[in-house]
Structure 1
């Protein structure tokens, strides 16, 4: 198939990372791919060394004629079988151009807050395919009144070559942090914000540190709560065992240095890409049992699901995972789990299959990770 992906969001977001991984997966599967992307933005940089042809453009809003011109130029050259959009500001432009060019449109939705009433009603009906990125998100759209047969699920793909265990890299990172091979490293990677559960994690980790002298915390990310986190760590009893590195452009090498990853959100998450990437690197995950996070791991096999904002439960889970007999079997199972459910080859094949053979009732309900719940049952 021939695809024209349109994603001109310049920001570093989970949706942008998803778009890069999906485009890479489709290109690796042998399909012809062109991309309309923000010049020198995250998506353009992430695809610079792929076979995808890039067209620089900016869609500032639905009326931005320059964005239309760049997309029409790309479409004329590629003559795509499908237009694919990932960001809200491009939904209506793609629908309009799809009608003009007689090309079907596929839209991905990454957020659960409802769209405007008009967009929420029309877009899933006008697009050929409307994808949620988790069963949790799909249910949220159904709860907003979108018919179930209009919403499919396609998970975020993960590049298994980019996320993999690497003992030498682990050793180098531990050395850079002044840690020995016997260190137990609890990692957090993401936005530093209270809604992400970082202060629950901090309190639980410090309580666990009082019992486990080899436990250290590695903090990767930046956000509005960075200063408060720094102040709380400095005021605590174990400041020297917290390693705050701030924003890291490429976190993938750091996964391999972790003994476990924490995903402690107390606000609903649509999915949880960092959880899947960590497991692909052979790292078990402690995740909040909320939103789409449960779909990213196999409970008690590749990680643990925990009640959000429960310091005691998180402390006990961290301590249990400090035991190699508990942790290492999960680490061993984690990469195989991701390979089976989230690898680029699996997701690309599933994506193309869904596009080519759309059933009357979408097959997303049969996905082995989680069964969706009908809104009428709530």
Structure 2
């Protein structure tokens, strides 16, 4: 079996250096960074190709030992939406090929592309370099369009066709969960022999339970009373992530129990993204319209170490998304020992153990969500049992395991490419 020495990762539309929680940066950014770092620790060099979005960024940035981010100039630095990026794929692909041409033949052993735009470029590069293409969808247009949030725009036909082409071109497809693997088979007619399930991981050292004193300090540093009930949302503010469901649930909860208002703090950690950029104040306007602006706090996106403290300060973390391929926020919160209330959609059924590490909610009805949140808020013993179960569940997911399984996928992709060429 040929050893994997160098991996070319392609993340066209969002850089691993971007701050998760705003713009197009989210769980996929964390995934690319952590996978690349863990592969590098195993002696594998990783180059991440991404589109430059500022003239101030260096063309080449060392993210970590063995991990290099290469910024490709393709189109204007600012002002391009994700839906406009297909027009820059040819330029981006040309520059990726030009970069590889500076090295000896056979420099990269495998390409791992992330999201369909990157998969289109990866398919071209794989053909040119004679190496296998491994692709991770992360999200899929057909899945998103089947469960659109109110007011959200459907993904365009261009993306659907592009995804179908990438599924056909890839030597192997990586799915985050068995549910996602099934969606690739059912919706995209993927070959079952070319789909592998590899769970994302979590940094259990960074996201870990804090003792009572440290949790008290985390609350004090954020001006949160020690006896407060704190349902937290973390992520990009857009209809797909459904932070409005949490706010509407809080309004229902306060109608049922007005006395909770004195103890309730609802942090929303993140920034507008996607179609949420069209109305960046929509969530604040909703809070005001619901009469709960006094209990809601809007917090700009924060670095991972600070996010860990927000999780520690929370009573629970709400993940009301209409779809998630896995749900890294859910697994991070649980690793920090914080129960999660999540929509029972997509990969969240894998990321959360209902009744053991959190609660899964079958719909997006604010009344149902208010009941789930109120159940945890009203029963500290139940909350503590979920918190203990949350940590036990989360430690089953490690980035080291993700990297080891991804490496096995790369090697299998090499074997498949050789056998098909024989």
- What TM-score do the two structures reach when normalised by structure 2? 0.74
User: Partner residue of 1:153?
Assistant: 197
**3-state SS, counterpart of residue 363 of structure 2:** coil
User: Partner residue of 1:309?
Assistant: 364
1:242 aligns with 2:296: yes
1:34 aligns with 2:30: no
User: Partner residue of 2:267?
Assistant: 218
CA RMSD of aligned residues (A): 3.2
1:207 aligns with 2:263: no
* Bigger mean CA offset, 323-332 vs 79-88: 79-88
* Mapping for residues 28-177 of structure 1, pairs under 5 Å: 28-39=41-52, 48-58=63-73, 60-64=88-92, 65-73=94-102, 76=104, 79-114=107-142, 119=162, 122-144=165-187, 145-167=189-211, 170-177=215-222
User: Displacement, 1:294?
Assistant: 1.2
Cα gap change, 1:318 to 1:347, in 2 (>3 Å)? same
Query: Separation in 1 of the partners of 2:367 and 2:225?
Result: 28
Cα gap change, 1:256 to 1:78, in 2 (>3 Å)? farther
Query: Separation in 2 of the partners of 1:72 and 1:127?
Result: 22
* Bigger mean CA offset, 96-105 vs 319-328: 96-105
- Give the conservation status (yes or no) of the 8 Å contact 1:111–1:137: no
- Give the conservation status (yes or no) of the 8 Å contact 2:198–2:406: yes
- Structure 1 gaps of 5+ residues are 361-378
User: Partner residue of 1:186?
Assistant: 231
Query: Separation in 2 of the partners of 1:40 and 1:171?
Result: 39
Cα gap change, 1:85 to 1:211, in 2 (>3 Å)? same
User: Displacement, 1:47?
Assistant: 6.3
Which of 1, 8, 33 is 1:4 aligned to? 8
Q: Give the total of aligned pairs.
A: 357
Cα gap change, 1:90 to 1:179, in 2 (>3 Å)? closer
Query: Separation in 2 of the partners of 1:328 and 1:160?
Result: 19
* Bigger mean CA offset, 9-18 vs 180-189: 9-18
User: Partner residue of 2:35?
Assistant: 22
Cα gap change, 1:254 to 1:28, in 2 (>3 Å)? farther
* Bigger mean CA offset, 8-17 vs 97-106: 8-17
Query: Separation in 1 of the partners of 2:162 and 2:358?
Result: 38
- Cα displacement string for residues 48-98 of structure 1 (whole angstroms, at most 9, x for unaligned residues): 24431333324531344223212443x638823222111323323322332
* Mapping for residues 362-377 of structure 1, pairs under 5 Å: none
User: Partner residue of 1:320?
Assistant: 375
User: Displacement, 1:120?
Assistant: 5.0
Cα gap change, 1:28 to 1:308, in 2 (>3 Å)? farther
* Bigger mean CA offset, 220-229 vs 321-330: 220-229
Which of 241, 245, 252 is 1:196 aligned to? 241
- Give the conservation status (yes or no) of the 8 Å contact 2:219–2:226: yes
- Structure 2 gaps of 5+ residues are 15-23, 75-87, 143-157, 416-422
- Give the conservation status (yes or no) of the 8 Å contact 2:116–2:163: no
User: Displacement, 1:203?
Assistant: 2.4
* Bigger mean CA offset, 280-289 vs 218-227: 218-227
Cα gap change, 1:67 to 1:334, in 2 (>3 Å)? same
